Structure 1
Amino acid sequence: MPDLVYSSNFCKDSFKLIELGDEQLIQAFESGTKVTIKGLPDDEAVLCTETATYSVRQVNTSNSMILCTPNDNETVQWQVCDDLSNTIELLPCQARTGRLTELLSTSLYTGPDNEDGQSGHTFEYLLSTVQASPAELKRALEERHAFMTEDGCYRCIDNAFLHQMLDGLATSATILGYNVCDMTLEEANQCLDQDFSAVPLPVRMAFLHCFVKDVHASQLCLDEYRVCRFLGSIVLEMEKGREWKMEDFMETWGNLTRLVLEHHQPTLTTLAGLYYTTERQVLQQPQIYITFFPSSDLPTDPAERFTRLFREKQQWSPEDIYPYVDDLARDDKHRDALLLKFTRIQKLGNKTVYGSRIK
């Protein structure tokens, strides 16, 4: 066995060993493609490849690992360069795009009359700030229906102005004799010209992407799910921080929806991840209340997420809590593992509820 001799420039923990337990990670490192560790000073670091995000976790080991190099002069001696007592573990995780919503909210498009000095953020800046891979960031921008300005910056449309455009489209379609669920792109633009002629094409297309099933189809059709979910969130946000009586909310939401989609009756399943319900006895009768609580406003760290959930409400039904966990989990199995770690299953009569395991 060769002799081990500590190097003259030995410095403990000057090296880090990274465990590559994922085939995509191995391919990314071996191919030489860009791999980036991201995070602001108060963030938990993540590692991003071109297409995926991984949490970075230090794992301590009970046995030290000696990192050695052969001695140039004597083949029977090895020089100890480092004494390692931990490794770095990389685990697949969801991209942490909550900061993207914050960044885009600083430059919302609220109409052509309010454009003085408005500017968004370039893709490069967003990529340097948001803990997501380039592919995941592009997908997140598409999900938020962001549009690119002439100077190459990304922005989103303010919800109040989106509502104005949606209402204007439906009203003008009725006046012009068009069907909002069966119109051409030219007809849609004719409708928007009635009240929004000064709105530029990128904003119009972002608006249509929000509510139309396929903007590239020969005949455009409003997506009932997207329209109902958007209008439901608008109604819920009217009472942000307060409760709606369920029957009052459903009536208001239904009336608003039918102004756009005639004869359509929305259902609560459309609003998963935007609300929770509370049942209380009022005059000895059960009364259900609904509260606006969007998952997009919650932390992306699982422990912080569950702490926030149980601060808002002590007990959650499965149908209420699942939408607030799904965006953290890779699949149902991972979701169940998160629930097992952070919650405790309880029985209330014949109902199953989740309580907090966090002390």
Structure 2
Amino acid sequence: MCDCNLSFSSTSSIDAGSYKFLELPPELATLIESSINSLSTTSSSQHDGNYTGLKIKGVHGEDAVLCTTDKTYSMRSVVLSNSVLVVTQPPTSTCSGSPSATAGGVRDESTVDPSDTVVIRDTLNEIIELAPTVPKLYKLNGLLRGREYNDSSVDEDVVSTREKVDGHCEKDRFSYQDALSQIQASDGELENGLKDRRILIVNGYLRPITPYFLTHILELTLNLMVSLSLTLSRAPVHEIASTLADEDEIPLSVTHQIMAWFGEVNLSEDRWAADVKLIVREIGLGLLREHGLGSGIEKDAFLEKWKTVVSDKFEDLVEMELLSGNVLLSASTMSAYGDDATTTLQYFPASQLPTDPPARFAELFLTRTRWRTDDITPFLSDIAVNTKDRDRLLLKYARAVNDKDGIWYTARAQYT
């Protein structure tokens, strides 16, 4: 056993509470180790001091999270059965020969060997566990309510820009920087969240585009590409954006962002590789939204309308699977004109369901008493980190029942 001189640091009262233990998942440990190794080959002047890219985010009254560049981890405090001492080498003055108290409390006036001396800086009684978690992007819905961007917003943007120049305060606006600091999500997840929720950045502020206006712009874009016989994989960004600006008064910055949502934009090469299937999906969702929540439309009639809107050039891309997580298909019913069975669609978006798992399952089982696996899983993807986490939620809140038609999920609790 190694013997050493143990003493309390002269700053122990100041250091108390300054240290925390983190239990790192393997992927975080690897990230930190690789970042430390990179220090030997990279000049520190090229960094801001955060080599790992780790950030702790949270606002008052809410749980904090730890974020990497692309993942979010929950932080949970767990009490330890035994206290742990944080010890370090002694200060420089002690190492050079200043008196130090030994473990027995006897003060040694002789020169202290720094290799045999440690000082106690703090005592820890808990450890912080980290676990992957779903980013809290749902907060954007409430923060941006009432700030939607539509066809009448261009004039508002002009007024907003003038107010900014004049020094007017815009307390009612929510900027991208505000989102980076207030939303418990990694920077990568936030960027993807803005894209998935169709949120524009206009004059530095976040503005969710209205579904009707987005569908209108996408219809114009498809028609323009067809009329100009543009190549889908190399469509000219400037020509499309300029035409929409001149003929439909859609700002260039808005068109550029929408094009980036539905494909890959390379401004230096003036090239847009359009994801037409994603555009067709969004147009289908727009048509479905027109019927509102709770109302239905006959499936065949809806598909015909959808194909007509996207034109015969893209009608082969129309399929019900594109609307997964946003639609419910009713059981077949008898037609009023005979014995033919019909199926109706109902707009039912997962984005408008509760984000808390118990409330989400309660809403699902109030809507339907039993679900097939393929039907329910699309409505769980946004509250589960991965498929393993999704299966855990199903096991906890639902009961699997196997009958002649296959596996069905029913509620574990009774909802009335």
Where does residue 344 of structure 1 map in the other structure?
399
In the alignment, the residues of structure 1 paired with residue 194 and residue 127 of structure 2 have an alpha-carbon distance, to the nearest angstrom, of 34
* Aligned residues: CA RMSD: 4.1
Q: Which runs of 5+ in 1 are unaligned?
A: none
**How much does 1:204 deviate?**
1.6
1:77-122 per-position Cα deviation (integer Å, ceiling 9, x unaligned): 79896573x5321012232212234444543321224546557533
Change over 3 Å in CA distance of 1:17–1:358 after alignment to 2: farther
2:321 to 252, 269, 291: 269
Partners of 2:292 and 2:347 within 8 A in 1: yes
2:72 to 36, 53, 59: 53
Compare CA radii of gyration and give the structure with the larger one.
Answer: 2
In the alignment, the residues of structure 2 paired with residue 20 and residue 135 of structure 1 have an alpha-carbon distance, to the nearest angstrom, of 20
Where does residue 83 of structure 2 map in the other structure?
65
Alignment of 1:314-329 (within 5 A): 314-329=369-384
Corresponding position: 1:132 with 2:151: no
Q: Taking structure 1 as the reference length, what is the TM-score of the superposition?
A: 0.77
**How much does 1:250 deviate?**
4.1
1:166-216 per-position Cα deviation (integer Å, ceiling 9, x unaligned): 333445566xx42366453354246424631x32210121232344x3333
Change over 3 Å in CA distance of 1:220–1:56 after alignment to 2: closer
Alignment of 1:144-223 (within 5 A): 144=197, 146-149=199-202, 151-171=203-223, 177-179=227-229, 182=232, 183-189=235-241, 191-193=243-245, 195-196=247-248, 198-211=249-262, 213-216=263-266, 220=272, 222-223=274-275
SS of equivalent to 1:259? helix
Alignment of 1:1-359 (within 5 A): 16-25=20-29, 27-28=31-32, 33=50, 35-41=54-60, 43-60=62-79, 63-67=81-85, 73-76=101-104, 82=123, 84=125, 86-111=126-151, 112-115=154-157, 121-144=174-197, 146-149=199-202, 151-171=203-223, 177-179=227-229, 182=232, 183-189=235-241, 191-193=243-245, 195-196=247-248, 198-211=249-262, 213-216=263-266, 220=272, 222-245=274-297, 248-263=298-313, 264-265=315-316, 266-279=318-331, 288-358=343-413
| Identical aligned residues as a percent | 26
Partners of 2:20 and 2:124 within 8 A in 1: no
Partners of 2:241 and 2:252 within 8 A in 1: no
In the alignment, the residues of structure 2 paired with residue 95 and residue 132 of structure 1 have an alpha-carbon distance, to the nearest angstrom, of 5
In the alignment, the residues of structure 2 paired with residue 126 and residue 251 of structure 1 have an alpha-carbon distance, to the nearest angstrom, of 41
Change over 3 Å in CA distance of 1:99–1:315 after alignment to 2: same
Partners of 2:299 and 2:342 within 8 A in 1: no
Higher alpha-carbon deviation: 305-314 or 265-274: 305-314
> Would you say how many aligned residue pairs link Structure 1 and Structure 2?
349
In the alignment, the residues of structure 1 paired with residue 210 and residue 101 of structure 2 have an alpha-carbon distance, to the nearest angstrom, of 70
**How much does 1:273 deviate?**
1.4
Change over 3 Å in CA distance of 1:73–1:140 after alignment to 2: same
SS of equivalent to 2:346? strand
In the alignment, the residues of structure 2 paired with residue 97 and residue 267 of structure 1 have an alpha-carbon distance, to the nearest angstrom, of 29
**How much does 1:313 deviate?**
2.9
**How much does 1:135 deviate?**
2.8
SS of equivalent to 2:131? strand
SS of equivalent to 2:400? strand
Q: Taking structure 2 as the reference length, what is the TM-score of the superposition?
A: 0.68
**How much does 1:352 deviate?**
1.3
In the alignment, the residues of structure 2 paired with residue 285 and residue 316 of structure 1 have an alpha-carbon distance, to the nearest angstrom, of 25
1:292-341 per-position Cα deviation (integer Å, ceiling 9, x unaligned): 22222334444443344334333221111111223344443333233223
In the alignment, the residues of structure 2 paired with residue 82 and residue 307 of structure 1 have an alpha-carbon distance, to the nearest angstrom, of 44
1:208-243 per-position Cα deviation (integer Å, ceiling 9, x unaligned): 2344x3333766565332122212211222232213
Partners of 1:98 and 1:297 within 8 A in 2: no
Q: Which runs of 5+ in 2 are unaligned?
A: 37-48, 91-99, 106-118, 161-169
